Amino acid sequence: MRRRKLIFLGLMLSGLILSSCNHNQGPAKPVEPIEPTYLTVSEAVALAAQVGTEGTSEKQYVTGTVKSISNPTYGEMYITDGVKDLYVYGVYSSDGTTKYSDLTTKPYTNDEVFLYGFVKTYNGNPEMGQSWLMKMVSHQDDVDIHDYESMNINNARKATNNSKVLVQGVVATITYSNGKVPSGVYLVDDTSSIYVYSPEIAGRVEVGEEIKVAGVKTEYILESELEYAQTFGYQGSIQLDKAIFVSSLGKNKDFLKSWIQETTMKNIMETPLTNNITTLIHKVTAIVNKVPGAGFVNYYINDLDNETGSYVYTLCNGSDFNYLDAYDGKICTVYVAVHNAKSTSSGIFYRLMPIKVEENTSFSMTDEQKAQFALDYYASKQFLAEYSSDPSLELLTSIDNEYIPFSNVKVSYSSNSELVTFSEENDKLVMHIANGVAQVNVTMTATYNKVTANKVISFKVIDSVLPETESIADVIDKEDGTSVCVKGIVMSSLVNQTGFYINDGTGVIAVRTTEEEMKGIAIGNEVVMEGSRKHIVKSESNNVGQSCIDNATCVANLFGNHPYDKSTFITNKTFDEIVTSEKNKQATEDLTCNVYVAKCRLRKNSTQYSTNYYLSNTAHDKEFLLYSKSGAQYSAFDAFSDDREITVEFMLVDWNSKNEYRACIVSASDGTTTIFNTLNFQ
């Protein structure tokens, strides 16, 4: 103990002497930290290739310029030195405790960053892991916008594609991508609205902030949907891409609404594709409809019939719109835009973006408006544009609506042509059309509380000459790409495809068509369909694929409610035999035109995130998964999912070139009740 004291005193004495010496020589210079040597991006990329997937054993210092930010929550970004680019998984504070979104000062595109983190190769690409931001040099004031033309948003919407534009407006809403990562903003000025795609801008601004941005005007279409979009004339979603944040001009501002047109969801959905209204805000009175699924929620913005409308576009399974829960089933004032359109072989489907939603507690309609609504939204939808035979169409004579509300709006009909007559049959009003040629006007009159409204609809009556048709059996044997024409009975719906199965007694084949062509077609109708004989096969698959008549158009609907012929159905195999012998053949043999009839069970398997249906034997060790987009497409058969034995008519399908056939139900029966697959006809 004593010796330790002496050492301590000695050290104190030495310190005093040194202090005295330093005092005589002036103040001591502070010890400056040693500045680390930073790798360039090119050097870091070379190092990543050298160390591979195991990565560096020690963290590296790397410097570069921010090229883009893909996730403004965690600061996922690409940095560059002008020669090479390096992906950075995320950026935190210099001590690693604060994520990018919570940094007081954070780097953006064009800023110079000095990072500290591990370097490696991932999936063949150079990468820097979660890194610490040691320092940065801001170059936000160096943004050069002299190549961009300043204009209002309305003119920016009309600018030719690839034009460089400079616009100013208020952020009306922020959109999100997978993981609820900000992806873009709707910008509004006193002339119009436009979508600005930029995760970086979306992550650095807030709703109500007025900003100035530069960007490239484009009409965006997902590359995988480009062919279908061109087929139907969809131009793409109007937006600004490659956007640059220029400046903030203040916060807590409401977007201007004086230019926004008030319309209906019906008018929006019926807007032709040639009039590109994408990302343009409209004001509607509508019903918000929440539809929960397995692990997701869909939200619909519907007209006041709660049918005419579309669903809200989400990449977050609906979690980015859970604020709409408060409006479920209510009449609301909705500022809404068509965000984009899904382009498929079946057609173009508008998808919506709600900008602002308020419950409309003062909504009301006059009796005359209610009568007119009954005509516009219910009665008018009964008629086709053209008839070539007698449809024997049962007409609505009384219409109700629970939302507006009204009940028992009486509807009557009259025609200006002797070809069209209306008769009472079994307490129902039926429209008949005689042979002939005419342009017919039908006047519909709705009466509600002694108030009337009228509407005239027009259609053609034609005396069509039907083209020569061939048997489905012959069509099945034809080469892909051959143009074909068949006449048969509409048997049942396809699932997760737009179309139906057609049956002429010689065979059955899938007919894939569009939503527009499906209008007016019902199960039991006799139809003439033209299209291309095809096998749908993914390019990377060796499977035979799904047989169908593709891109089909309805040449004539001869109507009627005909039973379908079952003479070609396979009835001499048990379900176990079908599964054992047919399940693994699709790579070598086309079985998708066979209709099987067998006793089996319907098994429903629901989890938190999905619902699937299976055709199964008693032991559940032999089964076919039912092909669908979601289990809800088979919910009509839930009455039979209690594991009792049923007789099922089904077909095997291979739309997606899977390793095993899936099944599609035509009908199911327990001996007392028969349920038909009517999915596309609802």
pLDDT in tens, 612-626: 999 999 999 999 999
d(CA 680, CA 628): 13
What's this model's pTM, rounded to 2 decimal places?
0.84
pLDDT in tens, 296-345: 899 999 999 999 999 999 999 999 999 999 999 999 999 999 999 999 88
Reduced to 3 states (helix: H, G, I; strand: E, B; else coil), residue 130 is coil
Q: Which two tokens stand for residue 478?
A: 């034809």
Query: Which residue, 133, 107, 122, is CA-closest to 38?
Result: 133
Q: Phi then psi for 50, rounded to 5 degrees? A: -75, -40
d(CA 557, CA 529): 9
Q: What is the pLDDT of residue 24?
A: 46
Q: Per CATH, the architecture of 41-140 is what?
A: Beta Barrel (2.40)
Which stretches of 14-163 are assigned E, i.e. beta strand? 60-71, 76-80, 85-88, 91-92, 112-117, 119-122, 125-128, 131-137, 149-150
* Domain spanning 575-681, CATH class: mainly beta
Give the total residue count for the chain.
682
d(CA 112, CA 65): 4
Q: Which stretches of the chain drop beneath a pLDDT of 70?
A: 1-33, 682
Q: How many helices (H) and strands (E) does the chain have?
A: 10, 39
Q: Which two tokens stand for residue 160?
A: 């030719």
Query: Which residue, 36, 242, 40, is CA-closest to 128?
Result: 40
Q: What is the pLDDT of residue 277?
A: 98
Q: Could you tell me where the DSSP H helices lie in 446-544?
A: 472-476, 515-518
Q: What is the pLDDT of residue 345?
A: 82
The answer to whether domain 143-363 has CATH 3.40.50.720 is no
d(CA 673, CA 633): 19
628-667 burial: b if 16+ Cβ within 10 Å, else e: beebebbebbeebbeeeebebbbbbbbbebeeebbbbbbb
- Start-end of CATH 2.40.50.140 domains in the chain: 41-140
The CATH number, out of the four listed (1.10.10, 3.30.460, 3.90.1010, 2.60.40), of the domain defined by the range 367-461: 2.60.40
Cis peptide, bond prior to residue 405, ω within 30 of zero: yes
Residue 496, burial from CB neighbour count under 10 angstroms (0-12, 13-18, 19+): middle
Specify whether the CB–CB gap between 392 and 382 falls below 8 A. Answer: no
Q: What is the pLDDT of residue 8?
A: 34
DSSP annotation string for 290-328 = EEE-SS-EEEEEE-TTSSSEEEBP-SSTTGGGGGGGGGB
Query: Which residue, 680, 643, 644, is CA-closest to 664?
Result: 680
- Start-end of CATH 2.60.40 domains in the chain: 367-461
